[in-house]
Amino acid sequence: GVVVLYGSETGCAQEVAERIGREAQRRNIAVKAVQPMDAFTIDELVREDLAIFVCSTTGQGDPPANMKSSWRRLIQKSYPRLPSLAFSVFGLGDSSYAEFNFVAKKLHNRLVQLGAQCLLHRRLGDDQDEGGMDKELALWMAELWPALAQTLPEEQRARVVADPPASLLPAVCEVLFQ
C-alpha cells in the first residue's frame, strides 16, 4: 500500500493529500495512511515501498509546522538510505514568492540523495497559473495512477481501476441534527 504524507500550513496540502488518498481507494490501490509528516514516524520510511508527499512552503522557504521535525530528521547525515522506496512529490506554491515551492524541491532532492526511486517526477502547483494549482494537480494525478499501478504485484495490478466510475466513497464524517 501507499502512504500519503503532507506538510500543510493552511490546509490546502492536507486537502490535496486526502483527495489523493480517496482517489487511490476508488482505484483499488491500498492506502496505508494519509497524515501529516510529523504524525508519521519518519524513521519508519525505510520500511515503506510507496510514498506520496504533498507539501507547501511557508515563510521564507520554510517547511509547514506539521512537517518541521520530520524534515529536520530527514536532512541529518545519519538518516538511513531509502533504496526500496518509490516516491513522488507534489508541491503547492505561488510563483510570486522568491522561494516558490522550495520545500517540495528540497524534499524531492533529498529523497533522491537517500537512494529512493522517483516514481514520477515532482510536480509544482502554482497559484499564479490561469487554472490555479488544480491544473498541475490534474496533470500529475493522471500520470500518478498508472505509475502507482506499475509498482504493484501482478495480481494487485489487475484489480486497479484505471478509470473508476463517479461513485461515492463511504462518508468520512456523519452530520447529526437535533
Q: Which amino acid is at 89?
A: V
What are the chain's domains? 2-157 (3.40.50.360)
C-beta neighbour count of 135 within 10 angstroms: 13
C-alpha cell at 58: 511557508
- Kindly report, residue by residue over 104-115, the tens digit of the pLDDT: 999 999 999 999
- pLDDT of 169 reads 60
Phi, psi of 75 (to 5 degrees): -90, 0
- pLDDT of 166 reads 63
- Tell me the C-alpha to C-alpha distance, in Å, between residue 158 and each of 24, 29, 111, 120, 150: 15, 11, 29, 21, 10
C-alpha cell at 105: 524541491
- Kindly report, residue by residue over 35-78, the tens digit of the pLDDT: 999 999 999 999 999 999 999 998 888 999 999 999 999 999 99
C-alpha cell at 145: 495512477
